[in-house]
Amino acid sequence: MASSCTAYNVSIPADTIPTAETKIKLADKISISPLVLGTWAWGDKTVWSWNDELDAKAKEAFDMSISKGINTFDTAEVYGKGESERSIARYKKDHPNAKDIVIATKFLPYPYKLSYPSSLINALRGSLEKLQVDCVDLYQIHGPIHLRSIEVVADALAEAVKLGLTKTVGVSNYSTGEMIKMYDCLQKHGIQLASNQVEYSILRRTPETSGHIAECHKRGVAVLGYSPLAMGRLTGKYSEANPPPAGRHFSNVNMNELEPLLATMRRLAEKYNVSVSSVALNYVICKGVIPLGGARDGKQAEQNAGALGWRLKNEEITEIESHTFNTIPSFWHRFWQHG
């Protein structure tokens, strides 16, 4: 078991139990919690039906997460059309632990954005204004949809670091080849690529089975796993009779296929006295990935935090992985998700 406040590079070792005190060091510059709170839902009216009531509940999730040792929050300029970033600014204002809060945000490189570094720098300055900070901890490219070369985008990220606008830089949805190219380009500036954020869960293990995670770790690049709960499918909340709301497309597996897996997860949740969500998140941690679990209220944040303080055994991981599913990636996935 790790001692208090032990920091590991890239991921938590296989023989270590993740705790609230455990930290992971990215690019040898920032220390993040082994579980990150994803804030896509905050401010989003289209998919997540955001309103004033949910705003108050999200503040509860924010406070609960910090109380449980989760100090890291992942957002993006497009989440809620900027409202996610504004929400984080409101929630952390006057917070007693504000100095320990780590914020990661993202730049969406729409294909029509051709002027670099200005497009990226201007977007980053806009995010800093909404977040009410002078420097963000991690600035990420949201997806590999830019028309300019990776070298051009890397130069823009390097400029952001040199201007003191971000401490570290990362990417999201990059393939192994794209990640390596970005890593190499940043190395020319003496900058370490901190992370690649990809969809990873029990239902989508492609980054692992393709060797992508191993290639990232080989270069000191952490892997952040978004949608680790498969947009609610791995929480135990939904079933074939009560499917997730429309629009939750990541890890889109029919709920009737999931029941045998969920039965296994419920048994493990009972064994460890945690929620089904906790089992799903602990699994991701065990695979060397840092999960980005969403939470829209204090209860969900508390359930997420239940992933810490214990670790699935190897035979339990094998049992979870014995369940297989049929998924057909959409054009959107092929366009957006290279990793």
Rounded Cα–Cα distance for residues 28 and 47 (Å)? 36
Going by DSSP bridges, is the β-strand pair 30-32/23-26 parallel, antiparallel, or unpaired?
antiparallel
Instruction: Tell how far CA 90 is from the center of its chain.
Output: 21
Choosing from 79, 116, 139, 238, the catalytic residue is: 79
Rounded Cα–Cα distance for residues 169 and 58 (Å)? 26
> What is 156-175 written as a DSSP string?
HHHHHHHTTSEEEEEEES--
- Strands ordered across the beta sheet of 23-26: 7-9, 23-26, 30-32
> What is 8-25 written as a DSSP string?
EESS--TT----TT-EEE
Q: Is 51 buried (19+), middle (13-18) or exposed (0-12) by CB count in 10 A? A: exposed
283 is a catalytic site residue: no
Find where tokens 């969500």 sit: 277
First to last CA, the chain: 31
One-letter amino acid of 49: S
The strand ranges marked E within 173-300 are: 193-199, 222-226, 290-294
Rounded Cα–Cα distance for residues 304 and 232 (Å)? 12
Active site residues: 79
